[in-house]
A and B are shown apart, each in its own frame.
Chain A
């Protein structure tokens, strides 16, 4: 087993998929000779050839659009959009075509594509390189939206995404690409989609997050544990469809919930989870649900981005607010 960081785990999953399924092709800007700007596809073109690891012209609409055509005709394209800020020209194809081809054709055609893109802030990137578009994508019926929070989950979830018969948007938190290493076996084992992962058990409150923010959320859980407060930590992993059952079950035990995400607050996924708790879990709540999120601002450039991102202190403060409510 090798110690891999998240971007290496992505590379290992892509290599495994290319090796074992001749229908898998990769396409995107600079993914071939250059191995991708983050090196997620390093060495893959040399190994699998330029016909399966395709350096495309610079055109996001056509990257997504040709992936739709490939997928409908039996390939399993894994398209890379270089940065999530440049995903928007591809949305037309994701929303109007990829997500609905199966439905429109009554199952005659399907669209098993994966669209990978780095996302999120925290790496001092230029403008338009730090976006968190997950809620926009999660709103689209027919799409799956997945975001790993560790190398092992990146490997297992990406394999699952590639094997899934429907379109999956795979958002890779750029901040985690090289943040830490973990043993990742190259065993071809996929992790399940559509379910949350409970990262640690707890009895006093439930912390829900995903992607890079899992890191701060776990640090907040550690800080709370030092005060004797046991927080359960849930990693959504698949953001759409959402596994509300796991969250409801947890909150039924803890009575308290704090949702943490770095995307802007309004109409973010935190609102969806809070609404689900209000609809199905209201009577188990001992305190109002709290959201700790990015602000409804443009994600600032590097000098302010740490203030934009939810911090451990903000998460702990929100947790305290739920704990201070009379039970």
Chain B
């Protein structure tokens, strides 16, 4: 008997839960000026997230999927992307989207039931939120192929949850990108839950990163609550993809501190004591402690940031609440490039019966 192949999966953590560096940090991370923007983005995400839940609870927003506890994954990865790269998110990646330049009011519009929220004013080529699980992995492979064919130095970065790695789309998309050596990075935000199904019941594999091995690409596991490690690994993977090195699968270990969505009650299936333990590991406090150790952050700066984020979010909420109702005709006007003759009668009928009063944001009914 002989061994024909052998593999290993690395786990990367650079800063521990107390904010202590575990080893000499990569060059970028030795400069607090590079870390503070990551902290600010995580803080803003968390402020937005809490506000969105409050809006939903008061009937002013539809169902919302919180990213509480996962801020480091989106922020760390998106901060490693260039503007011309393309993000293909699932529905829980507003951290990455905010870093990409999606406006908070756009996000609110989307969750408030208005397609105009996907008309991102910032990253015009980024994909809208993907609700069917894992389909975006295939889209990312196709997008990456387009970049490669045209010789563009762009990378497609797609995000998914741990549950997504059980879908055929995940494997098919990763396999295509691997065969094509397409510039793509797959990021699994392994928050330990797919609604009520725990990670242990999702897959029998020791890591999700090792699923890369079946596709013949690199898989790496990172502490997803350590934004410095996430950013470091993502930078390497994205730049490797950009320079022709093909795709990488990054498994970011994190924890969903909130409910699956505002329509979910996680206490039905999850022991609150487990959640309590996880709060000790969460990413925002971790980087704050690190910055404090470095002497690169102060209580005054923290207060100023809290104030600034609250103002930014409140202004976005006002803009969202003041958004006039969409035109009835919009149902038809973006369906095809040119409305087929066969639909013109339906459009006219919709307009004939359209209410003339403005819409409101009451989602409670």
- Chain A residues close to B by CB (< 8 Å): 25, 51-52, 56-57, 59, 61-62, 64-75, 77, 89, 92-93, 96-97, 101-110, 141-142, 144, 164-166, 194, 241-245
Q: Which of A56, A65, A72, A104 has the most CB of B within 10 A?
A: A65
Minimum CB distance partner of B117 in chain A: A106
Contact A65 B120 (CB under 8 A): no
Known contacts A61-B169, A93-B138, A108 near B120 by CB under 8 Å: yes
- Please name all residues of chain A whose beta carbon is closer than 8 Å to the beta carbon of B139 when the two chains form the complex: 65-66, 68-69, 72, 97
* CB-CB under 8 A for A102 and B336, given A92-B132, A108-B118: yes
B297 on the A face (CB < 8 A): no
Contacts A73-B147, A142-B335, A142-B336 given: A105-B341 contact, CB under 8 Å? no
Q: Are A103 and B335 in contact (CB under 8 A)?
A: yes
B12 interface residue per 8 A CB criterion: no
Give the residues from 113 to 133 in chain B that come closer than 8 angstroms, CB to CB, to chain A.
115-116, 118-120, 124-125, 127-128, 131-132
User: Is A65 in contact with B335, judged by CB distance below 8 angstroms?
Assistant: no
| A residues in contact with B86, CB < 8 Å | 73
Please provide the chain B residues from 329 to 365 with a CB less than 8 Å away from any CB of chain A in the complex.
330, 334-337, 340-343
On B, residues with C-beta under 8 Å from A are: 86, 88, 115-116, 118-120, 124-125, 127-128, 131-132, 135, 137-147, 149-150, 156, 168-169, 172-173, 175-176, 179, 330, 334-337, 340-343
Given A77-B142, A104-B115; A241-B343 close (CB under 8 Å): yes
Q: Which residues of B contact A142 (CB under 8 A)?
A: 335-336
Total number of residue pairs linking A and B with CB closer than 8 Å: 142
Q: Which residues of A contact B179 (CB under 8 A)?
A: 57
Q: Which residue of A lies closest to B337 (CB)?
A: A165
Contacts of B341 in A (CB 8 A): 194, 241, 243, 245
CA distance A72 to B340 in the complex (A): 21
The 8 closest A-B pairs by CB, nearest first: A65-B138, A69-B142, A66-B142, A62-B172, A241-B342, A69-B139, A73-B146, A241-B340
The answer to whether A109 and B127 touch across the interface, beta carbons within 8 angstroms, is yes
A70 touches B145 (CB 8 A): yes
Chain A residues whose C-beta falls within 8 Å of the C-beta of B168 in the assembled complex: 59, 61, 89
Q: Which of A96, A97, A105, A244 contacts B119 (CB 8 A)?
A: A105
**Nearest Cβ in chain A — how far from B335, in angstroms?**
5
Q: How far is the CB of B71 from chain A (nearest CB, A)?
A: 25
CA distance A106 to B326 in the complex (A): 11
A106 touches B132 (CB 8 A): no
Q: Given contacts A102-B334, A105-B118, are A62 and B175 in contact (CB under 8 A)?
A: yes
Using Cβ atoms and an 8 Å threshold, which residues of chain B touch A65? 135, 137-139, 141-142, 169, 172-173
Across the interface, do B144 and A25 meet the contact criterion of CB distance under 8 Å? no
Inter-chain CA distance A66–B177, complex, in Å, is 9
B127, B147, B343: most-surrounded residue (chain A CB, <10 A) = B127
Q: With A108-B119, A165-B337 as given contacts, are A194 and B142 in contact (CB-CB < 8 Å)?
A: no
Bound-state Cα–Cα, A77 to B145, Å: 11
When the two chains form the complex, which single residue of A59, A68, A74, A89 contacts B176, counting CB atoms closer than 8 Å?
A59
Residues of B within 8 A of A67 (CB): 142
* Set of chain B residues within 8 Å of A105, measured between Cβ atoms: 115, 118-119, 127-128, 334
> Roughly how many angstroms separate A72 CA and B138 CA in the complex, as a whole number?
12
Q: Does the CB pair B175–A57 fall under 8 Å?
A: yes
Q: Is B138 in contact with A66, judged by CB distance below 8 angstroms?
A: yes
Of the A-B pairs whose beta carbons lie under 8 Å apart in the complex, a sample of 5, sorted by A's number, is A62-B175, A65-B138, A66-B142, A73-B147, A74-B146
Whether the pair A69, B156 counts as a contact (CB closer than 8 A) is: yes
A101 to B86, CA, bound (A): 15
In chain B, what residue has the closest Cβ to A67?
A: B142
Output the least CB separation between B160 and chain A (Å): 13
Give every chain A residue within 8 A of B146 (Cβ-Cβ): 69-70, 73-75
Bound CA span A103–B118, Å? 10
Q: Quote the shortest CB–CB distance from B102 to chain A (angstroms).
A: 12
Not counting A65-B137, A103-B115, a sample of 18 additional A-B residue pairs whose C-beta atoms are within 8 angstroms of each other reads A52-B149, A57-B172, A59-B175, A68-B138, A69-B88, A69-B142, A69-B146, A70-B142, A70-B146, A71-B142, A93-B138, A103-B335, A105-B118, A106-B118, A106-B119, A108-B124, A165-B336, A166-B336
A276 nearest in chain B by CB position: B342
Residue of A nearest to B339 (CB): A241
CB pair A62 B173 closer than 8 Å: yes
Contacts of A93 in B (CB 8 A): 135, 138
Among B86, B128, B343: residue with most chain A CB under 10 A: B128
**Given A70-B142, A166-B336, also A96-B135 (CB < 8 A):** yes
In the complex the two chains form, what is the Cα distance from A109 to B143 in whole Å? Answer: 12
What distance in Å separates the Cβ of B164 from its nearest Cβ neighbour in chain A?
13
Query: Do residues B143 and A72 form an inter-chain contact, with CB atoms below 8 A?
Result: yes
In the complex, what residues of A have CB within 8 A of residue B88's CB? 69
B-chain residues with CB within 8 Å of residue A166 when the two chains form the complex = 336-337
Residues B125 and A109 in contact, CB atoms below 8 Å apart = yes
> Across the interface, which residues of B come within 8 angstroms of A107, CB to CB?
119, 334
Q: Can you name the residue of chain B whose Cβ is closest to the Cβ of A110?
A: B337
Per the bound structure, the CA–CA distance linking A92 and B130 in Å amounts to 12
Residues of B within 8 A of A69 (CB): 88, 138-146, 156
* Nearest-neighbor residue (CB-CB) of B343 within chain A: A241
Do the beta carbons of A106 and B334 come within 8 Å of each other?
Answer: yes
The distance from the CB of B161 to the nearest CB of chain A, in whole angstroms, is 17
CB nearest neighbor in B for A90: B138
B28 → chain A, closest Cβ, in Å?
Answer: 29
Chain B residues within 8 Å of A141, by CB: 335
